[in-house]
């Protein structure tokens, strides 16, 4: 995956929390979500995700995710130009 396209920021959010069930993505307590941070590219977000995921390996219900914010901010890929 390309980290940046033509110098554009490709923001990624890393967050996690304890799941209610291993078969779902529903969190046990939304007030206790761990917002790790927002990163300028996928590589740095992946590094943060790995660190958090490895640090919570003893809790099978704890999950961390990388969200591609740039895709949510610009779903049609137009760069905000309409």
- Give pLDDT tens digits for 18-49: 999 999 999 999 999 999 999 999 999 999 99
**pTM, to two decimals:** 0.82
For 12-70, which CATH class?
Answer: alpha beta
Q: Given pLDDT bands bounded at 50, 70 and 90, which one contains residue 9? A: confident
Alpha helices (runs of H) in 1-82, residue ranges in sequence order: 42-55, 69-73
Partners of 39 in beta bridges: 12
How high is the pLDDT of residue 76?
80
Domain boundaries, the chain: 12-70
State the Cα–Cα distance between residues 45 and 4, nearest whole angstrom. 13
Mean residue pLDDT across the chain = 89
How high is the pLDDT of residue 74?
83
């Amino acid at each position: 995956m390309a980290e940046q396209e033509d110098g554009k920021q490709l923001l990624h959010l890393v967050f996690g929390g304890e799941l209610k069930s291993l078969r779902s993505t529903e969190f046990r307590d939304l007030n206790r979500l761990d917002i790790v941070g927002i990163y300028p590219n996928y590589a740095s977000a992946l590094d943060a995700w790995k660190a958090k995921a490895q640090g919570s390996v003893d809790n099978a219900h704890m999950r961390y995710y990388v969200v591609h914010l740039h895709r949510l901010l610009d779903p049609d890929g137009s760069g905000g130009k309409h």
